Amino acid sequence: MDSAEPREDNESKDDEANRLLPSSSDDEETAFDARDKILVGDLDSSDVDSVPPFSWKKLWLFTGPGFLMSIAFLDPGNLEGDLQSGAIAGYSLLWLLMWATIMGLLIQLLSARIGVATGKHLAELCREEYPNWARLVLWFMAEVALIGADIQEVIGSAIAIQILSNGVLPLWAGVVITASDCFIFLFLENYGVRKLEAVFAVLISTMAISFAWMFGDTQPSGKELLLGILVPRLSSKTIRQAVGVVGCVIMPHNVFLHSALVQSRNIDPSKKGRVQEALNYYSIESSVALLISFMINLFVTTIFAKGFYGTEQANRIGLVNAGQYLQDKYGGGFLPILYIWGVGLLAAGQSSTITGTYAGQFIMGGFLNLRLKKWLRALITRSCAIVPTIIVALVFNKTEASLDILNEWLNVLQSIQIPFALIPLLTLVSKEQVMGVFKIGPIVERLAWTVAALVIVINGYLLLDFFVSEVRGLLFGFLVCTGTAAYVAFIVYLIARGDALPSTWFSIELSKRFAYSGN
């Protein structure tokens, strides 16, 4: 017995050391503890390669992560893009909204794929894939993107609270109230993943009912709506709104979030059949979730297209004054439209800030491998966004124009971060060493890179347009140029390091010729 004790001590030391390695150890930082995961099938099934037949019950058990992911398509920043698109471009950009949502779905399905197939989320995989300096840069960029998104979401929620309180509560008070969602989140998380998902289902339903009610009240043109969806139209006057529609769809933190959320179900990555089953169900529920988000965005766009397209107010409408403009246009009724708008906006703001807290936990834990208690990590994540948001609310709450300027800067901040989520995702999901048999094929790879390049170019246009109009002074211009050079260099590094770009016809033909010449 005595001789066994040193051996047990050595084994415990080895286990402790292994926790610091990028392995699948149970003690390593994970998205969800094993006891918190939802059982979706028989874990002891011996048939590891066959995919079980479709089951509605199984689909219900897998339903949840896609709806939490879809919140990023419905946050206050997206709603502001919708209302401005409708007011300035009318129904003409609905086709772009639809295709942007489809592009977003493709990216999110790849995010879910990497989480299910590897059993790790994107931030964890980035920690293992990249050297320390690059990992820290990616973490910093992800945190900045999250803070920027959270400021928009918290201010949107604070605006809703201001509306619903008849202006009694100022913007900063709404920010403080919204900060409490951190504790609501922790409270709900203690009751399990399904309870948390149920709360988000209620919030999404609230948004859907509110904006559908407004859609029914305002009665937009059905004919114009169908033409807007089916007939692509774009003019020089609406190019900025078009860029905004596409730019709002891919949120950097959401790419990290979805790859972690799918791990809330107990799936063994070593069983191919179970992994494929999970991917099938997640594809269905994510598609349904984004279809609902598309309908909500469509409601908002068409409401403002009907009421304000071609009017003098069109260029002056923003998130701050949208409710009052609606009230002036459509009046009271059984339920004043101002308060219906406020309820929908509050649901959007609260749900998106809670998912932001969730995403912050995964990003911090994944990149840094921090094993902190949930309440402490949530508090740190929340503080990173709430403190600057309160400062922003106090500084910018002078005029409606100042908040609009703030929103433009935050949109630029989001645009800058997009490559640092998309490039690692597409690099890793294309690698057989990471994905095994679930590596994406060449057609999907090219399609995904085309979508990513399109989104990056469109956001690059937004950045160029913004800096041309805003950059003043030699020193500021020099700093922007220097930052841009470093930014581009890091993007090139990420692409080159992972051989991220898919093989083209030219490179394939070239390799064949070299092979023939060698023979």
Which among 400, 414, 423 has a CA at the least distance from the CA of 462?
A: 414
Cβ contact 281:264 at 8 Å? no
Better-scored residue on pLDDT, 509 or 301: 301
189-224 pLDDT tens trace = 777 788 888 888 998 999 999 999 999 888 888 899
Give the C-alpha separation, 282 to 273, whole Å: 14
Q: How long, in residues, is the chain?
A: 519
Give the C-alpha separation, 349 to 20, whole Å: 37
Cβ contact 364:377 at 8 Å? yes
Q: Which pLDDT score is estimated for 3? A: 44
Which among 418, 404, 396, 221 has a CA at the least distance from the CA of 302?
A: 221
> pLDDT tier at 21 (50, 70, 90 boundaries)?
very low
Tokens found for residue 134:
């690059």
* Sign of the Cα pseudo-torsion (136, 137, 139, 144, in order): positive
- Which DSSP letter does residue 191 get? T
* Sign of the Cα pseudo-torsion (497, 500, 505, 511, in order): positive
Q: Please say if the pLDDT value at position 140 is more than 80.
A: yes
Give the C-alpha separation, 206 to 23, whole Å: 42
For 403, what's the count of Cα atoms within 13 Å in the CB-facing half-sphere?
26
355-396 pLDDT tens trace = 888 888 888 888 988 777 766 776 776 677 667 777 776 776
Cβ contact 292:204 at 8 Å? yes
Containing 39, the helix (H) or strand (E) segment is strand 38-39
Span 147-172, mean pLDDT? 85
Give the C-alpha separation, 466 to 412, whole Å: 8
Q: In the 3-class helix/strand/coil scheme, how is 251-297 assigned residue by residue?
A: CHHHHHHHHHHHHHEECCCCCHHHHHHHHHHHHHHHHHHHHHHHHHH
Q: Please say if the pLDDT value at position 502 is more than 60.
A: no
Span 172-199, mean pLDDT? 77
**What percent of the chain clears pLDDT 90, i.e. is strictly above it?**
29
Q: How far is CA 176 from the centre of its chain?
A: 24
In one-letter notation, the amino acid at residue 65 is P
Give the C-alpha separation, 459 to 306, whole Å: 28
Give the C-alpha separation, 272 to 37, whole Å: 19
Q: Which pLDDT score is estimated for 295? A: 95
**Per the confidence metrics, is the pTM higher than 0.75?**
yes
Containing 18, the helix (H) or strand (E) segment is helix 4-18
Give the C-alpha separation, 192 to 302, whole Å: 38
Q: Please say if the pLDDT value at position 449 is more than 80.
A: yes
Q: Which pLDDT score is estimated for 227? A: 93
Q: Which pLDDT score is estimated for 12? A: 46
Q: Please say if the pLDDT value at position 117 is more than 80.
A: yes
> pLDDT tier at 267 (50, 70, 90 boundaries)?
confident
User: CA of 223: how far to CAs of 219, 226, 302, in Å?
Assistant: 11, 5, 12
Better-scored residue on pLDDT, 269 or 427: 427
Exposure letters 368-404 (e unless 16+ CB within 10 A, then b): ebeeeeeeebbbebbebbbeebbebbeebbeeeeebb
Q: Which pLDDT score is estimated for 519? A: 46
> pLDDT tier at 152 (50, 70, 90 boundaries)?
confident
User: CA of 38: how far to CAs of 22, 24, 43, 67, 76, in Å?
Assistant: 24, 19, 12, 16, 31
> pLDDT tier at 151 (50, 70, 90 boundaries)?
confident
Task: Quickly list H helices, 309-336.
Answer: 322-330
Q: Which pLDDT score is estimated for 518? A: 46
Among 190-194, 285-289, 411-415, the minimum mean pLDDT is found in 411-415
**What percent of the chain clears pLDDT 70, i.e. is strictly above it?**
80
Give the C-alpha separation, 297 to 498, whole Å: 36
Q: Which pLDDT score is estimated for 10? A: 47
Q: Tokens 């708008």: give the residue.
A: 341
Tokens found for residue 190:
């203690």
Q: Which pLDDT score is estimated for 397? A: 63
User: CA of 225: how far to CAs of 215, 220, 228, in Å?
Assistant: 12, 8, 5
Question: Does CATH number 1.10.4160.10 belong to domain 53-400?
Answer: yes
> pLDDT tier at 302 (50, 70, 90 boundaries)?
very high
> pLDDT tier at 94 (50, 70, 90 boundaries)?
very high
Domain locations along the chain: 53-400
Span 260-283, mean pLDDT? 90
